[in-house]
Amino acid sequence: MAVLDEDPAPAAAAAAASDANSGASDSEITVEETSFVHTEPPQDGTAPPVVTSDMEVLNDRVKKQVIKEGHGKKPSRFATCFVHYRAWVQGSSHKFEDTWQEQHPIELVLGKEKKEMAGLGVGVSNMRSGERALLHVNWELGYGKEGSFSFPNVPPMADLVYEVELIGFDDVKEGKARSDMTVEERIEAADRRKIEGNEYFKEKKFEEAMKQYEMAIAYMGDDFMFQLFGKYRDMALAVKNPCHLNMAACLIKLKRFDEAIAQCTIVLSEDENNVKALFRRGKARAELGQTESAREDFLKAKKYSPEDKEIQRELRSLAEQDKALYQKQKELYKGLFGPRPEPKPKASNFLVLFWRWLVSLIGYLVKLFKRKNE
């Protein structure tokens, strides 16, 4: 059974905790606290996806087609929604926004969205958490008669198409955007999402868990963390870093190893000796065949947690892989190059031998003739 790591303390302190919350890892994957990771869109996003579901008319200016069903209730007015989307000018290939590419969801407070996002707000208010949909928005609820000639670049009177995913929403602080919250309120909101994510993880609902962690991390964006010092930064990291690690745990379960490596690296940029981040990154690297990099991570993790049996097991596994690879290569090349054959003596030239014999014979006869004359 997977273990949830609720303790944000350093690895040394974690090692002294109970078996459920200690060590660099467990036989499954230990969940911690996460940082931001984006959900992966199923298509390449160069053009609006082709959707065959029925068109639902939300009002006379907004229509919706469901790509993937969501769950739970729909957000109420003033709910703070976390949304990923791509936007195109309808009837063209002009894509003017893509939050998946930017790797950051937007925050949309329903009823308080910008004028040009009114149509998007109508669509999101009729979606459920986890739902992905295609929205067709009339220009009047988009960028209007004038359009936009800066960023984004949208022509005048342009109807819009949105591919939207509602990651989730928060009704707790009605109408209160993250920028209006105190530090304590933002950390508290992030921690609630982390706890919900952990519950999903226990149920092996890894995609749902990641959405909660993603929202938790969205409360702790780079702009927010940059302003924090001292105890407030420590408080924020105590929620944010475990979310990154839990996200990595989910990604390993889903075999999305490159993304898991990225999540662990975020934690290590703040805490270079974090044992669990080193262990999970090593595990993901090993799965990708990055043996030497994985060994470096495991050895460094072992340095700070020398008694951890999981780290020792992974190092043994790598050693066994190296040995098996060596034996395989040895068998592959065995006999391919046999012993060098000894050079065969060149056949003697008969004519050369004959002349040598003839010279020797003449020399012998000359000597014999001289003796007789003497």
Q: What is the pLDDT of residues 324-365, one digit of tens each?
A: 877 777 777 765 555 555 555 555 566 777 777 777 778 777
For residue 253, how many other CB atoms are within 10 A of its CB? 17
pTM: predicted TM-score of the whole model, two decimal places = 0.63
d(C-alpha 196, C-alpha 210), whole Å: 10
Domain ranges of the chain: 11-37+180-321, 56-170
d(C-alpha 106, C-alpha 197), whole Å: 19
Class at the top of the CATH hierarchy for domain 11-37+180-321: mainly alpha
For residue 298, how many other CB atoms are within 10 A of its CB? 27
Q: The domain at 56-170 falls in which architecture?
A: Roll (3.10)
Q: What is the pLDDT of residues 211-261, one digit of tens each?
A: 889 888 888 877 788 888 889 899 999 999 999 999 999 999 999 999 999
Instruction: Return the residue matching tokens 């927010």.
Output: 224
d(C-alpha 316, C-alpha 223), whole Å: 42
- Residue 330 has a pLDDT of 75
H helices of 144-290, in order, are 183-202, 206-218, 222-226, 230-253, 257-270, 275-287
d(C-alpha 12, C-alpha 23), whole Å: 9
Strand partners, 84: 165
Per-residue pLDDT tens listing for the chain (374 residues): 344 555 433 333 333 333 333 345 443 444 443 333 334 444 566 888 999 999 999 999 999 999 999 888 999 888 889 999 999 999 888 899 998 887 678 888 898 888 999 999 999 999 998 899 999 999 999 999 999 988 889 999 999 999 999 998 887 555 567 777 888 988 988 898 899 999 999 999 998 899 889 888 888 877 788 888 889 899 999 999 999 999 999 999 999 999 999 999 999 998 999 999 999 999 999 999 999 999 999 999 999 999 999 999 999 999 988 888 777 777 777 655 555 555 555 555 667 777 777 777 787 777 777 776 66
* Amino acid at the residue 134: L
- Residue 334 has a pLDDT of 66
DSSP string, 277-317: HHHHHHHHHHHTT-HHHHHHHHHHHHHH-TT-HHHHHHHHH
Contact 58, 126 (CB under 8 A): yes
Residue 78 neighbours by CB under 8 Å, 6+ apart: 109, 110, 111, 112, 174, 175
Domain 11-37+180-321 and domain 56-170 have a common topology: no
